[in-house]
Amino acid sequence: MSQLATLAEHGEERTAEVGEKLFEVGDASYPFIAIYEGEVAVTDSAGQEIVRHGASGFLGEMNLLSGQTVFLTAVVTEPMRYIAVDREALRRLLFEDGSLSDLLLSAFIERREALQQRQGIGIEILGSHESSETRRLLEFARRQRLPHSWVSPEENAEAAALLEHLGPDEIPLVRLPGGAELRGPSNGQLSRALGIGLELEQREEVDLVVLGGGPAGLGAAVYGASEGLDTLVIESTVLGGQAGTSRRIENYLGFPAGISGSELTSRAVSQARKFGARTATPYRARALEPGAERHLVKLDEGNEIAARAVLLSTGAEYRRLPVDGLDDYEGISVFYAAGPPEAHLCGAQRVGVIGGGNSAAQAAVWLARGGALVTLLHRRADLSETMSQYLIDEIDRYGVVVRDRSEVSALHGDDGRLEAVTLTDGTQLPFSFLFLFLGASPCTDWLGDVVARDPKGFVLTGSEAGAHGLLETSVPGIYAAGDVRAGSIKRCATAVGEGATVVRFVHEHLSPADASVG
């Protein structure tokens, strides 16, 4: 009841009659609605009912924070008295009221996850799965967590008839909530049409621009915005980075049962937005020009961001195995790092470690010492071509079996649990877990020689870059955090920690006298 009173202070009391629509598919926005009396049915665009809310319930979903076009309709089924709180007022309230914020944010996230499971909600993507542009947009919608349906012309005669008259660059055809259509849109055009995130001005001026919206970037956004910095996050694909693609992160502090990458990301994005950080996707940084007062970041759509401080958090791309269904296993039985939890998980299990470098060797030894039966597979004829001799000796000492000239061509298992792998020569090996150490390349090509980088392209920071601050690059006011940084640990928690730490250095850079007091 006290929460209704708080909402009433920030909103407006309204009434509605049976049959009235509180909001409708295709509307640009809607208020948060908390119900005193009455009942409302929420339906999809075809009028199919999804849920009813009555007294003490509330209407609202992730798009209240993201500003995305409305993709559901709410029709009053019993006369209503309710409080309507507009988006901006709700955002302020979430910032001030911790328990209300917990309640609403977790409900919004749960509702979005549930909506994504339903067909017929959100956008419709019409195109053949054989079209790479259709697959690109489906992948984008999936990673953006956009409620969407895919309509294949192979299975739907109406879609086939519609697509027949379109040219190759007009496919896929996308139907938006409310009926508008886009032909062959880019990821950016679709986002803008849905009102997702920001449409950036041609030139923006901010305190801190964060390039890359993975854990490091989002960590910086939460701390930067909550500590009063005008913070803008630029993300080229989907907020969440590598972590967002992980089925389950088992070692993130505070989640003893593990948390899916998508949930961790949703929570982090809501938190950043709650504090007022702006997130712009999909926009790609393509050039950085250092300046005395402000550094200039140029984006691929021609926009420019003039920022007093810049965080490079563009991460690295882990090389993945080119096998079907890999993502079903990732985070459950296929991993990219081996630490204490993995060693514990793999005790007395058959484990494959793939890679011929020192990191693969260290993981193999670590897992074998934890009691796993480890086989190390690599492509070359002899490990000594790529691995240090002392590690080859260690591998031998701990009983790791080495298979030279071995490449995995298929994974077998059920529900994310690996049972076996097939090699290109047809051999099948019974593995319960697989660890991939195929290397990672940093997303830094676009930087040129603006900041100092190591021979592999990772950004140097601190004393290695001749900088004062631990995470500062060779250019004052430009920082690096997370996987993109040379020598980083390549874990979610360390990326978040580094992003948060950078904010402290940014304060020192922007107002040296103030920051030294705290």
Least distance to ligand FAD from the beta carbon of 263, Å?
Answer: 13
Least distance to ligand FAD from the beta carbon of 41, Å?
Answer: 38
Maximum Cα–Cα distance for the chain, whole Å? 79
Least distance to ligand FAD from the beta carbon of 268, Å?
Answer: 10
124 or 235, CB closer to ligand FAD? 235
Stretch that binds ligand FAD, among 18-26, 70-78, 172-180, 329-337 (CB under 6 A): 329-337
Distance CA 147, CA 192 (A): 16
Say which residues have a Cβ less than 8 Å from residue 267's Cβ, sequence separation at least 6. 105, 109
Least distance to ligand FAD from the beta carbon of 3, Å?
Answer: 34
Q: Does 211 participate in binding ligand FAD (rule CB under 6 A)?
A: yes
Least distance to ligand FAD from the beta carbon of 451, Å?
Answer: 14
- Residue entry with tokens 């929420």: 42
Distance CA 467, CA 473 (A): 6
38 or 244, CB closer to ligand FAD? 244
Least distance to ligand FAD from the beta carbon of 481, Å?
Answer: 7
370 or 482, CB closer to ligand FAD? 482
Least distance to ligand FAD from the beta carbon of 327, Å?
Answer: 8
Distance CA 451, CA 512 (A): 23
Of all helices (H) and strands (E), which one includes residue 304?
Answer: strand 304-312
Distance CA 333, CA 113 (A): 23
DSSP 460: P
Give SS3 for 516: helix
Least distance to ligand FAD from the beta carbon of 23, Å?
Answer: 31
Q: Which of 276, 318, 388, 438 binds ligand FAD (CB under 6 A)?
A: 318
DSSP structure string for 36-77: EEEEEEEE-TT--EEEEE-TT-EE--THHHH-PPP--EEEEE
Q: Which of residues 265-284 bind ligand FAD (CB under 6 A)?
A: 284
Q: Which of 3, 95, 446, 470 binds ligand FAD (CB under 6 A)?
A: 446
Q: Does 372 participate in binding ligand FAD (rule CB under 6 A)?
A: no
The percent helix, strand, coil of the chain (3-state, each to 5) is: 35, 25, 40
Q: What angle do CA 169, 122, 167 make, to 5 degrees?
A: 15
Q: Which of 127, 331, 352, 356 binds ligand FAD (CB under 6 A)?
A: 331
Site map (CB under 6 A) of ligand FAD, residues 113-142, x = contact: ------------------------------
Distance CA 423, CA 431 (A): 12
Distance CA 415, CA 60 (A): 32
Listed in order, strand segments (DSSP E) in 60-193 are 73-85, 123-126, 148-151, 173-175, 181-183
Q: Which of residues 469-508 bind ligand FAD (CB under 6 A)?
A: 482-484, 490-493, 495
Distance CA 238, CA 282 (A): 7
Distance CA 164, CA 149 (A): 20
173 or 484, CB closer to ligand FAD? 484
216 or 345, CB closer to ligand FAD? 216
Q: Which of 144, 314, 333, 362 binds ligand FAD (CB under 6 A)?
A: 314
Q: Which of residues 213-272 bind ligand FAD (CB under 6 A)?
A: 213-217, 234-237, 241-243, 245-246, 249-251
Least distance to ligand FAD from the beta carbon of 360, Å?
Answer: 16
237 or 409, CB closer to ligand FAD? 237
**Residues engaged in binding ligand FAD (CB under 6 A):** 211-217, 234-237, 241-243, 245-246, 249-251, 284-285, 313-316, 318, 330-331, 336, 443, 446, 482-484, 490-493, 495
